[in-house]
Amino acid sequence: MQTKIKEFRDPQLATDGSVVGFYEREFFVFSNFSSFQVFWRGRLWPTSEHAYQAARFSGVNSELEEKCFQARSAHEAYRIMQANCDKERPDWANEKLPAMYDICKAKLEQNPYVREKLVQTLNELIVEDSPKDPFWGWGTDRQGRNELGKIWVKLRKELKDGKL
């Protein structure tokens, strides 16, 4: 009998066992707000959220980049971005997915517990089951793009293929 490893905001989604949700709960390690440091671009970031939000300003606003680095929490780094999104780098729409992939890859490579949790997802779909974000997660209608979940699935495949 397989151990049930999935966690969901909506328990009804757990019935078929085909999705691993990570917005809070057991698989929260995949969230950028989880408390795992990541060494990326020559700095040790408090969380992947700090690094990601700072990357929005990389090369165009070193003061905001530093504010994100110094933020007391991942949520504060996010709020700094929200207040200054008009100052992000002009190529951000094209660079945000590669930046997120690089940050998540670094987080996986540097944190054995994150690697352990990723292995535990087996071959299941990984979803940021946040009702708030239809780009990185699946949004309120569960029809979102789930780009962060896709990144973790890609990293899991690379790990299984011996590329990480």
| pTM for the model | 0.89
Which regions in the chain score pLDDT beneath 70? 1-17, 23-24
Model confidence pLDDT, tens digit, residues 67-76: 999 999 999 9
Model confidence pLDDT, tens digit, residues 9-42: 454 444 455 778 876 678 899 999 999 999 999 9
105-110 LR contacts (CB < 8 Å, sep 24+)? 105/155, 105/164, 106/38, 106/39, 106/40, 106/48, 107/36, 107/38, 107/48, 108/155, 108/159, 108/164, 109/164, 110/37, 110/38, 110/39
What residue segments make up the domains of the chain, in order of their start?
1-36+111-164, 38-109
